[in-house]
């Protein structure tokens, strides 16, 4: 089953009748199937610790902090989306940041969804794929290097919409990426609060 | 990763950025009957804001159009917009991202992409042009981060052959080429 067929199967019957997907000669999205997580997705820094008060559950970490500088950037064509965001942050010495807004396009797109054995990668061929929404944050890895985790939605030339986590090395910018990243300044003096 | 050859020479640096300080946070409700992009631009400039990063937090359209990208066949650009898709409401705006900046004539301009669900439950999304997206009942809520000492300004980009927003430092803001 391709990603496109899967998406259509979730569409209400009324919608399929009223707004049929445009016909196309060949599928532009390709579902690769299960992939090794480490190969395509950035493993998130471990944000959880065991909650001793509730055995078997995970503690919710609450990090106090405040917002700092706003970084306004343009990433030019053929730079990878994830690497480009990290490059913007590194150039300003920022290791913690959140995406405040982003508008742009991709040559091709690679999105991941699911986890473990069901982790799936879809690729959508462009050029001219629109980034509709982009959410995510930047956190330092164990060496202090900024690492971006970005999720969002895209549309292809047939106006089909896809969503997932943007895969590192799979999302080259097409025309431009305009992005606003705001620095997050965690209060590193305070211990995380488990709730 | 596939890269693509643009019509113009690759410009450097490949990443442009400026550090700005916040010009304040604004919550805007664009009312029913108003064009979304023009309404956003009027609201922000009326509040003294020339450049802002905007998050569209949802709402409704009475009627809207969007554009999606496709390969450009004449070779002048690598991608262009196809014919607009028109949706008649009620259309629910799920989310969107936008920037307010200044065009080459000094006029305010909004660049906006959004994802919506139509009256039949189909999800759509693309580039929203100005003048063709009429807000529906309940309005559209936008959260804007104003920029105090930086701007987004449209400049012609010879590499892509498009006029494009570029970050610009104003006053003492520090420009960084990554």
What tens digit of pLDDT does each residue of B14-40 get? 999 999 988 999 999 999 999 999 999
Is B161's pLDDT higher than 70?
Answer: yes
Question: What are the chain B neighbours of A75 within 8 Å (beta carbons)?
Answer: 14-15
How close is the nearest chain B Cα to the Cα of A102, in Å?
A: 6
- The label of the residue with tokens 């509730």 reads A54
Q: Output the pLDDT for position A43.
A: 46
Q: Is B158 on the interface with A (CB under 8 A)?
A: no
d(C-alpha B52, C-alpha B66), whole Å? 22
CA-nearest residue to B150 within chain A is: A72
What ipTM was assigned to the predicted interfaces of this complex? Answer: 0.94
Q: Which of B1, B111, B115 sits opposite A80 (nearest CB)?
A: B1
Question: What are the chain A neighbours of B152 within 8 Å (beta carbons)?
Answer: 72, 178
Structural contact between residues A49 and A194, judged by C-beta atoms closer than 8 angstroms: yes
Note whether residue A55 is domain-resident.
no
**DSSP code of A22?**
P
How close is the nearest chain A Cα to the Cα of B70, in Å?
A: 5
Which range among A5-9, A88-92, B173-177 shows the weakest confidence by mean pLDDT? A5-9
Structural contact between residues A85 and A181, judged by C-beta atoms closer than 8 angstroms: yes
Q: How confident is the model at residue A171 (pLDDT cuts 50, 70, 90)?
A: very high
How close is the nearest chain B Cα to the Cα of A132, in Å?
A: 5
Q: Output the pLDDT for position A17.
A: 41
What tens digit of pLDDT does each residue of A23-65 get? 444 445 665 554 443 344 544 444 444 455 666 667 788 899 9
Q: Is A11 on the interface with B (CB under 8 A)?
A: yes
Q: Output the pLDDT for position A41.
A: 52
Question: What are the chain B neighbours of A178 within 8 Å (beta carbons)?
Answer: 99, 111, 152, 165
Query: A87, B2: Cβ pair inside 8 Å?
Result: no
Which range among A9-23, B53-67, B102-116 shows the weakest confidence by mean pLDDT? A9-23
d(C-alpha A103, C-alpha B54), whole Å? 10
Structural contact between residues B103 and B45, judged by C-beta atoms closer than 8 angstroms: no
Percent of chain B clearing pLDDT 90 (strictly above): 92
Query: B167, A73: Cβ pair inside 8 Å?
Result: yes
Q: Output the pLDDT for position A62.
A: 87
What total of structural domains would you count in chain A? Answer: 1
Is B89's pLDDT higher than 90?
Answer: no
CA dihedral sign of residues A182, A188, A190, A195: positive
Q: How confident is the model at residue B13 (pLDDT cuts 50, 70, 90)?
A: very high
CA-nearest residue to B12 within chain A is: A76
Q: Average the pLDDT over B122-144 and give the result.
A: 98
Q: Is B75 on the interface with A (CB under 8 A)?
A: no
* Tokens at B23, concatenated: 């010009």
Is A137's pLDDT higher than 70?
Answer: yes
- CA separation, residue B25 to residues A135, A183, B22, B144 (Å): 18, 15, 8, 6
Ordered domains of chain B (ranges, CATH): 21-150 (3.30.1330.80)
Question: What are the chain B neighbours of A128 within 8 Å (beta carbons)?
Answer: 68-72, 78-80
Q: What is the mean pLDDT of chain A?
A: 80
Q: Output the pLDDT for position A33.
A: 52
Q: Is B122 on the interface with A (CB under 8 A)?
A: yes
Give the CATH number, domain containing residue A10. 3.30.1330.80
Q: What is the mean pLDDT of chain B?
A: 94
Question: What are the two backbone dihedrals, phi and then psi, of residue B35, each rounded to the nearest 5 degrees?
Answer: -70, 130
Question: What are the two backbone dihedrals, phi and then psi, of residue B98, each rounded to the nearest 5 degrees?
Answer: -155, 160
- CA separation, residue B177 to residues A74, B40, B168 (Å): 10, 30, 12
Write out the residue range of the structural domain in which residue A181 sits. Answer: 3-44+64-187
d(C-alpha A99, C-alpha A85), whole Å? 9
d(C-alpha A171, C-alpha A10), whole Å? 26
User: Among the residues of chain B, which ranges form H helices?
Assistant: 36-46
Q: Is A101 on the interface with B (CB under 8 A)?
A: yes
CA-nearest residue to A154 within chain B is: B125
Q: In DSSP terms, which residues pair with B168 in a beta bridge?
A: B151
CA dihedral B108, B27, A177, A35 (to 10 degrees): -160
């Amino acid at each position: 089953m391709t990603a496109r067929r899967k998406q259509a199967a979730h569409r209400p019957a009324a919608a399929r009748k009223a707004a049929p997907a445009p016909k196309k000669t060949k599928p532009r999205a390709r579902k690769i199937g299960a992939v090794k997580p480490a190969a395509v997705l950035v493993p998130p820094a471990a944000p959880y610790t065991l909650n001793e008060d509730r055995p078997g559950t995970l503690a919710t970490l609450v990090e106090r902090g405040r917002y700092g500088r706003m970084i306004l950037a343009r990433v030019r064509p053929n730079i990878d989306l994830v690497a480009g965001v990290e490059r913007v942050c590194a150039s300003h010495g920022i290791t913690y940041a959140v995406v405040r807004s982003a508008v742009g396009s991709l040559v091709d797109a690679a999105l991941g969804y699911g986890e473990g054995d069901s982790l799936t990668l879809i690729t959508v061929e462009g050029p001219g794929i629109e980034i509709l929404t982009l959410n995510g944050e930047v956190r330092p890895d164990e060496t202090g290097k900024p690492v971006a985790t970005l999720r969002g939605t895209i549309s292809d030339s047939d106006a089909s919409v896809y969503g997932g986590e943007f895969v590192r090395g799979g999302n080259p910018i097409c025309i431009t990426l305009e992005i606003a990243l705001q620095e997050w300044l965690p209060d590193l003096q305070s211990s995380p609060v488990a709730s | 990763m596939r890269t693509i050859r643009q019509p113009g020479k690759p410009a450097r640096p490949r990443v442009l950025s400026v550090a700005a300080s916040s010009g304040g946070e604004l919550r805007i409700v664009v009312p029913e009957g108003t064009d979304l992009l023009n309404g956003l631009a009027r609201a922000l400039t009326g509040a003294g804001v020339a450049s802002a990063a905007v998050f569209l937090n949802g709402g409704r359209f009475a009627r809207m159009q969007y554009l999606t990208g496709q390969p450009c066949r004449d070779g002048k650009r690598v991608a262009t917009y196809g014919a607009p898709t028109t949706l008649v409401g009620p259309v629910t705006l799920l989310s969107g991202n936008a920037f307010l900046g200044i065009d080459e004539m000094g006029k305010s301009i909004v660049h906006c992409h959004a994802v919506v669900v139509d009256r039949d439950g189909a999800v759509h999304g693309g580039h929203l042009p100005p003048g063709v997206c009429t807000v529906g009942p309940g309005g559209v809520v936008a959260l804007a981060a104003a920029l105090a000492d930086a701007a987004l300004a449209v400049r012609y980009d010879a590499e892509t052959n498009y006029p494009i927003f570029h970050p610009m430092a104003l006053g003492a803001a520090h420009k960084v080429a990554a």
